[in-house]
Amino acid sequence: MNLFFSFLISFLFTLYLIPLLCKIANRFNILDVPDGAVKKHKKPIPYLGGVAIYFGFIVSLALTFPFENRMFLFLVGMTLLLFIGLIDDLIVMGAHQKLFGQIIAAFCFLKAGFYLKQTFFFNNFWNIPISFFWILCIINAFNLIDVMDGLATLVACCATFSFLVLAICLNQYALSLLLTAFLGALIAFFLYNKPPAKIYLGDTGSLFIGGFLAIIPFLFSWGEYNPYGYFTPIIILAIPLLEVGTLILVRTWKGIPFYKASPDHFSIYLQHKGWTAAKILFYVGFLSLLLSGIAFSFFGGAFSLYEVAAILVVFLTMWQLALFF
């Protein structure tokens, strides 16, 4: 029953906040203005969507979640990411400044114990550096994928739902509460963020969402159920990870620093091919759920690591073909 209330509280509170934050954003000119290159929406759209998700999530946790000591550093890290994004939305920060703030947040998470534990492949010495790299990668992956109405929110909803199913199946009650609170806020926001969007996440929301989904895998004891189980979140989050990898390759090939904005995102390519926003969201949602099914099957032992690798090659082929047809 608490899972239902956790979801309902965050959903309703976020839903209540969004119209209010839209008015505040319009009043103080906190708007995403089209630039004709990457930002091609017809009129300025309010930011602050991330603030609505944050408060919906926090209020739900305050009312339903049994806090532990390490949750304080978790919330410090998440709040820091929110403020870094908010500052960038209000006064554009340099890439190095934004990265520095993300590094501080990542250290908060590591200090709280959110990092890779025992693994089959890696010596324990590498667990902290790999975890640090993972956190920064996922944070920036959701920042990069947020270039189309509803896209980052939909991918986050699918990933959060996938982790929630796993948490419930593994009887991890506290983690399930955390995920239902987050999912409720995401779904409420998606109702306003789907095409045509009435409000955007901004860096405030994309960094916050990325930080949350980067940390969630460290709350699972993957090795207790499958010696290679820690590959499961990589499968679930394959789409934002593919976005990061593709952008680095394409921008490097073009001679553009990988952190500089450019219209080389997969969703923009699909739009140039004539895909509608609704079709892109349906396609990405379908692939996200397909990846979740693969992840569940792998975690449950239905697929070996080599079989999953072969399946992911097929998935990557499907992904690339969409850019050409």
- Asked if residues 186 and 53 have their Cβ atoms less than 8 Å apart, the reply is yes
Tell me how long the chain is: 325
Overall average pLDDT of the 52-67 stretch: 89
209: tokens are 């969402």
pLDDT recorded at residue 34: 67
Positive/negative CA dihedral, 63, 68, 69, 70: negative
Give the containing element (helix H, strand E) for 46: strand 45-46
Determine phi and psi for 122, rounding to 5 degrees: -110, 145
Please write the tens of the pLDDT for every residue from 108-151. 899 888 888 766 555 567 888 899 999 999 999 999 999 889 99
pLDDT value of residue 36: 55
User: Do 78 and 185 contact (CB within 8 A), yes or no?
Assistant: no
pLDDT (0 to 100) of residue 279? 93
What is the pTM (predicted TM-score) of this model?
0.92
Is the per-residue pLDDT at 24 higher than 70?
Answer: yes
Are the CB atoms for 209 and 142 separated by under 8 Å?
Answer: yes
What backbone phi and psi angles, to 5 degrees, belong to 34?
-60, 140
Provide the pLDDT for residue 323.
62
Q: What digits encode the pLDDT tens for the residues 195-238?
A: 989 999 988 899 999 999 999 999 998 878 888 888 999 999 99
Q: What is the pLDDT of residue 94?
A: 80
Residue 135 has what pLDDT?
Answer: 96
- Confirm if 159 and 183 have CB atoms less than 8 A apart: no
- Strand pairing partners for 32? 45
